[in-house]
């Protein structure tokens, strides 16, 4: 079953009514548990958004048991898209995504006002939740007080639940534990995508927020198994764009307590995971997607494609455990 434009528009107003009239129930019913690929935005050689290639990728993702998709996250190159492009990509994904799959849309901007406005547009385009990254341009002023005020203002005005997004490798700013604990009590904040990779910190967050129906998602396949061990409910994993079924298999092993098998499974991508995240980033992810039957196209400038040496290193990373 696919969602039509009419359904999307109606859903927005239904969620708005629910948010205003049921408070905590709206986000409490949102179960984030599962695996989400933070999908790439395909571009043409001229660096225009390639919606045809996006549709082709979505058809392939539909065959993998993901809980949903993250759209316009870091791997979607969202800082390089206009607001109109960001919303249109979400709208196009929602049209193709089955009704039972969640769509988490990145709506973070530097100001609270702009974030709230874009969150409203993402909800109207069919997002089930808004993934809101920490504002970071004035990172020296983004203490717990400022961040709590920011996320509270967005959550207060959002028609859909908000998922906090901490990605210190990109922002240079980690969402403080005390801020997360305070925000976890907000009825319209459903959880956190934590890309920092500090498992002790993640365990502390899970422990301090578990009574508030707050859920934590690991931000990488590299520490997904460890995250499950300390109480995370799923992951938003760049590697799932390439090895989606395998990441879902790891999820199944972890949630069924088959830790020895999970450890063996996890070891098989010890090289590919950092290659498409902290080492080589989005250009490597797009190259790997092309190798594995998806179409990602070029990156938008100023991101540059991999050079020959980087491409060969990426090939070795995927070949070392038999993926290529």
- Using a 10 angstrom Cβ sphere, with 0-12 exposed, 13-18 middle and 19 or more buried, the burial of residue 2 is exposed
Q: Give the integer Cα–Cα distance in Å for 245 and 250.
A: 9
> Is there a catalytic annotation at residue 5?
no
Q: Where are the alpha helices (DSSP H) in 158-280?
A: 168-171, 177-183, 199-209, 224-229, 244-255, 259-267, 272-274
pLDDT of 266 > 80? The answer is: no
Question: How far is it, in rounded angstroms, from Cα 292 to Cα 288?
Answer: 6
Active-site annotation holder among 193, 208, 210, 279 = 193
Sheet holding 129-133, edge to edge: 34-36, 234-236, 215-218, 189-194, 162-166, 129-133, 102-106, 68-71
The architecture in CATH of the region 5-267 reads Alpha-Beta Barrel (3.20)
pLDDT digits (tens, 9 = 90+) for 121-156: 999 999 999 999 999 999 999 999 999 999 999 999
Q: What is the pTM of this model?
A: 0.89
Q: Does the pLDDT value for residue 26 go beyond 80?
A: no
Examine the pLDDT at 255 and tell me if it is beyond 70.
yes
What is the mean predicted confidence (pLDDT) over 77-87?
A: 97
Q: Which pLDDT belongs to residue 7? A: 33
- Across the range 298-313, mean pLDDT stands at 96
Instruction: Give the pLDDT band of residue 276 (cuts 50, 70, 90).
Output: confident
pLDDT digits (tens, 9 = 90+) for 160-174: 999 999 999 999 999
| Percent residues over pLDDT 90 in the chain | 81
CB 70 within 8 A of CB 34: no
pLDDT, position 32: 97
Q: Kindly tell me if the per-residue pLDDT of 288 is higher than 80.
A: yes
154: exposed, middle or buried (Cβ count in 10 Å: 0-12, 13-18, 19+): buried
Residue pair 158/188 in contact (Cβ under 8 Å)? The answer is yes
User: Average pLDDT in the 255-263 region?
Assistant: 92
**pLDDT tier at 27, thresholds 50, 70, 90:** very low
Give domain limits for the chain. 5-267
Sign of the dihedral through C-alpha 122, 127, 128, 130: negative
- pLDDT > 70 fraction of the chain, expressed in percent and rounded: 90
What's the rounded mean pLDDT across residues 262-291? Answer: 85
- Structure tokens, 245: 């079924």
């Amino acid at each position: 079953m696919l969602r039509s434009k009419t359904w999307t528009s109606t859903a927005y107003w239904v969620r708005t009514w629910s948010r205003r009239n049921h408070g905590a129930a709206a986000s409490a019913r949102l179960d984030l548990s599962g695996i989400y690929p933070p999908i790439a935005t395909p571009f043409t050689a001229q660096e225009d958004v390639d919606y045809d290639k996006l549709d082709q990728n979505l058809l392939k993702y539909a065959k993998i048991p993901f809980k949903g998709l993250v759209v316009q996250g870091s791997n979607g190159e969202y800082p390089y898209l206009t607001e109109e492009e960001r919303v249109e990509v979400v709208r196009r994904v929602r049209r193709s995504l089955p009704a039972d799959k969640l769509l988490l849309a990145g709506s973070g901007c530097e100001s609270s006002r702009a974030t709230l406005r874009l969150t409203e547009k993402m909800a109207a385009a069919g997002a089930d939740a808004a993934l809101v990254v920490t504002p970071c341009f004035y990172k020296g002023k983004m203490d717990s007080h400022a961040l709590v005020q920011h996320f509270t203002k967005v959550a207060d005005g959002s028609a859909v639940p908000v998922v906090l997004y901490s990605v210190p490798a990109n922002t240079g700013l980690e969402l403080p534990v005390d801020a997360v604990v305070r925000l976890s009590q907000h009825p319209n904040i459903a959880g956190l995508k934590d890309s920092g990779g500090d498992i002790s910190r993640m365990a502390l967050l899970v422990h301090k927020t578990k009574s508030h129906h707050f859920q934590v998602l690991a931000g990488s396949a590299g520490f997904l198994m460890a995250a499950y061990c300390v109480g995370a409910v799923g992951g938003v994993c760049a590697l799932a764009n390439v090895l989606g079924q395998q990441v879902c298999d790891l999820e199944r092993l972890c949630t069924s307590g088959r830790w020895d098998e999970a450890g063996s499974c996890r070891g098989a991508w010890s090289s590919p995971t950092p290659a498409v995240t902290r080492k080589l980033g989005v250009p490597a992810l797009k190259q790997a997607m092309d190798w594995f039957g998806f179409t990602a196209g070029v990156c938008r400038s100023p991101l540059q494609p991999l050079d020959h040496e980087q491409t060969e290193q990426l090939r070795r990373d995927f070949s070392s455990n038999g993926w290529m």
